[in-house]
Amino acid sequence: MDAAGRYSHSKDAPLVFAAVGMRSSAVNMIRESLIASAGPGLRKWSDPANNLESAKAVFRLIAKRQLYGAVNIIWKTSPAWERYHKAGQEIYDKGVRRSQEALPYAKSMATMKIHLFGDIMADLYGHILGLNRHLFPQDSKQLQLATVTAVFDSDVQGQASQDMFKNVMESQKELPKTEKETGIRTEFKVSIKTEEEEPLLLLPDYLAGFYYSKRVYGITLGNERSDLLKAVEPAVSKWPPACLRMREGDFNEEYLLESNVFDHVLPKKRRDELLAQFHSGSPDEL
């Protein structure tokens, strides 16, 4: 999973979240195919030195392998965008004031990344399940385990924020509606990597970049991505429409955390003192 657009309060352009999925058994083969077909010149979509042939190779691979995709184009012009950030800032300020320490993972933009990356992950997983109903277990009384290995781009920065991101994503252990409809129990395994560590992240990078460039600039003389869009359009058009789930609209989410989430947090110094007493083996002093 990856995203395109600016993580900022600015309303001028959308955020585009994209995900590309495949069966676990095919991961190594598709990674090798990507490296072999795109060559060593493969760069991020936004890189000015991007190679047109490599870009075409990425989308040919997606189309040829009939990989699953999900795209969510989110415009920031709705009142909900303002409400989300206002609520997030108020909760963050309270948290910092009470805990007396930095809480980078509690900033509204950080929680929004968890929220919207989780959203696109759910979109892709639901889409894959919907296209593979014939594989659902027949015995609905015995749940079958499915493991979703989710690899996110390193847009989530800082160790504390990454740890919180992974904890939240991997804590989704009960999906009652999914289990009822499919007979499948889902386990999530999450990692955050760069494209250098996992080249397959370039697939959602290109998918998000393609739709971001189309929506914001289009194929015009003023768009530096115009040649890139023209080059990959034929390959994108060959991707079976059923493989892609697309959503587009105004941001319409409520802030995830309750306003009282930090009401009972102790200052960092006091928490450290309590932990020290626990470790010293003197709980009677508490």
The DSSP string of 160-222 is HHHHHHHHHHHT----HHHHHHHSEEEEEEEEEE-TTT-GGGHHHHHHHHHHHHHHHT-SSTT
What's the pLDDT tens digit per position in 189-216? 999 998 889 999 999 999 999 999 888 8
pTM equals 0.88
Q: Determine the Cα–Cα distance for residues 258 and 158; give it in Å rounded to an integer.
A: 24
Place of tokens 């990425």: 58
Residue 176, token pair as written in the block: 């009652």
Q: In the chain, where are the structural domains located?
A: 2-137+194-255+265-285
Q: Is 265 left (phi over 0), alpha (psi -120 to 50) or beta?
A: beta
Q: What is the pLDDT of residues 23-65, one digit of tens each?
A: 999 999 999 999 998 776 678 888 877 778 888 899 999 999 9
**Cβ–Cβ < 8 Å for 156, 112:** no
pLDDT band at 220 (very low <50, low <70, confident <90, very high): low
Residue whose C-alpha is closest to residue 27's, from 148, 183, 186: 148
Q: Is 68 in contact with 124 (CB distance < 8 Å)?
A: yes
Distance CA 203, CA 212 (A): 14
Q: CB–CB of 74/241 below 8 Å?
A: no
